[in-house]
Amino acid sequence: MNDLEKYFYENNKRLVYKLTNYFEVYDRHFSRFRNKEITILEIGVSQGGSLQMWKEYFGDKATIYGIDIDQNCKQLEEENIHILIGSQSDRTFLREVVKTLPQFDILIDDGGHTMQQQIISYEELFGHVKDGGVYLCEDLHTSYFLSHGGGHKRRGSFIEYSKNFIDYLNAHYSEQRSLKVNYFTKNVTSVHYYDSIIVVEKQSREKPTPMKTGVMSFEPQTPSKGRIYRGIKKSFVVKRINKMLRFVRLKSFLIK
Ligand SMILES: C[S@@+](CC[C@H](N)C(=O)[O-])C[C@H]1O[C@@H](n2cnc3c(N)ncnc32)[C@H](O)[C@@H]1O
């Protein structure tokens, strides 16, 4: 049992509401930030229990911000825990948040969980996560709830939206204009999917360099799969061109 699980199961402070599989995921991606001077934002304060849990887990040097639409949450502020009242689907409010708060090491979206809320929060706040930081959105199962604007492969669900991240991550290899290198390609190292959670890890990076080290063991005898494929493809294309040239009686232009 990790420290977060221990805290959760022994909790007699403010109410925390999480799925039981979350603690392993949190610990896997958050443990490197413990006892460091970090800034965290959690969208969705509710009874304030998770903010207290983060405070205990990350230690006294962590500054924790919470956002909630419910005005009552303001009273849950305490040392190192600051609460802002506003909606995570209100772009004007979120832009104000970006202007006023320092960049975040960790951002957790545990707010209203509708598709619009998750997408807008991501679009407005992802850029305000530090280089080396983590963006985590939870309760992704709502992407399958019709009531929340989700549904299997339904356009506009956060799961469908986030599937594009896989392409952005690999955009350096795209040969089509429909997929270009973007901010995500240049600033994200990995995307992790878990039951109901997505974790995006940020780190600025260049296109990886292909490289070989060590000594060759033997000269390859057979052409590589790629060469065979290109060979087949080429002869196929050449045959078609020659057929066409013969058809229009341009034999002198035949490709040998
Ligand atoms: C699942 S609860 C948060 C639970 C809390 N993080 C915990 O672990 O104990 C969701 C919270 O999101 C808030 N919420 C709902 N819609 C919101 C919105 N549009 N903007 C900000 N917060 C919202 C609700 O008021 C509620 O307090």
In terms of domains, do 136 and 248 share one?
A: no
209 falls within a domain: no
Q: What is the pLDDT of residue 224?
A: 63
213 falls within a domain: no
Tokens of 88: 């995570």
Query: How confident is the model over 195-232, as pLDDT tens digits?
Result: 999 999 999 999 999 999 999 999 988 766 666 556 56
In terms of domains, do 144 and 229 share one?
A: no
92 falls within a domain: yes
Q: What is the pLDDT of residue 228?
A: 56
In terms of domains, do 47 and 132 share one?
A: yes
CA 109 to CA 139: how far, in whole Å? 9
Distance from residue 203's CA to the centre of ligand 1 (Å)? 28
Cβ–ligand 1 distance for 142 under 6 Å, the answer no
- Residue 149 confidence class, pLDDT cut points 50, 70, 90: confident
In terms of domains, do 236 and 143 share one?
A: no
Cβ–ligand 1 distance for 83 under 6 Å, the answer no
251 falls within a domain: yes
Bridge partners (DSSP) listed for residue 39: 63
In terms of domains, do 253 and 153 share one?
A: no
- Residue 233 confidence class, pLDDT cut points 50, 70, 90: low
Distance from residue 36's CA to the centre of ligand 1 (Å)? 26
Cβ–ligand 1 distance for 111 under 6 Å, the answer yes
Distance from residue 48's CA to the centre of ligand 1 (Å)? 10
Q: Above pLDDT 70, what percent of the chain?
A: 95
Cβ–ligand 1 distance for 63 under 6 Å, the answer no
Cβ–ligand 1 distance for 50 under 6 Å, the answer yes
Between 174 and 253, whose confidence is greater? Answer: 174
Q: Atom 22 (ligand 1): residue with closest C-alpha?
A: 68
Distance from residue 46's CA to the centre of ligand 1 (Å)? 5
In terms of domains, do 164 and 250 share one?
A: no
- Residue 134 confidence class, pLDDT cut points 50, 70, 90: very high
Q: What is the pLDDT of residue 222?
A: 77
Cβ–ligand 1 distance for 45 under 6 Å, the answer yes
In terms of domains, do 82 and 133 share one?
A: yes
CA 171 to CA 184: how far, in whole Å? 9
- Residue 77 confidence class, pLDDT cut points 50, 70, 90: very high
Query: How confident is the model over 78-90, as pLDDT tens digits?
Result: 999 999 999 999 9
Number of domains in the chain: 2
Query: How confident is the model over 162-193, as pLDDT tens digits?
Result: 999 999 999 999 999 999 999 999 999 999 99
Distance from residue 42's CA to the centre of ligand 1 (Å)? 9
17 falls within a domain: yes
Q: What is the pLDDT of residue 109?
A: 98
Q: What CATH number is given to the structural domain containing 24?
A: 3.40.50.150
CB 199 within 8 A of CB 136: yes
In terms of domains, do 168 and 239 share one?
A: no
Query: How far, in Å, are 3, 155, 169, 232 from residue 164 at the CA level?
Result: 34, 12, 9, 32
Cβ–ligand 1 distance for 120 under 6 Å, the answer no
Q: What is the pLDDT of residue 232?
A: 60
Residue 124 belongs to what domain range?
A: 3-202
In terms of domains, do 179 and 71 share one?
A: yes
Q: What is the pLDDT of residue 254?
A: 81
In terms of domains, do 230 and 177 share one?
A: no
In terms of domains, do 10 and 135 share one?
A: yes
Instruction: Kindly state the average pLDDT of the residues 107-127.
Output: 97
Q: How far is CA 18 from the centre of its chain?
A: 20
Cβ–ligand 1 distance for 70 under 6 Å, the answer yes
214 falls within a domain: no
In terms of domains, do 228 and 135 share one?
A: no
Q: What is the pLDDT of residue 256?
A: 73
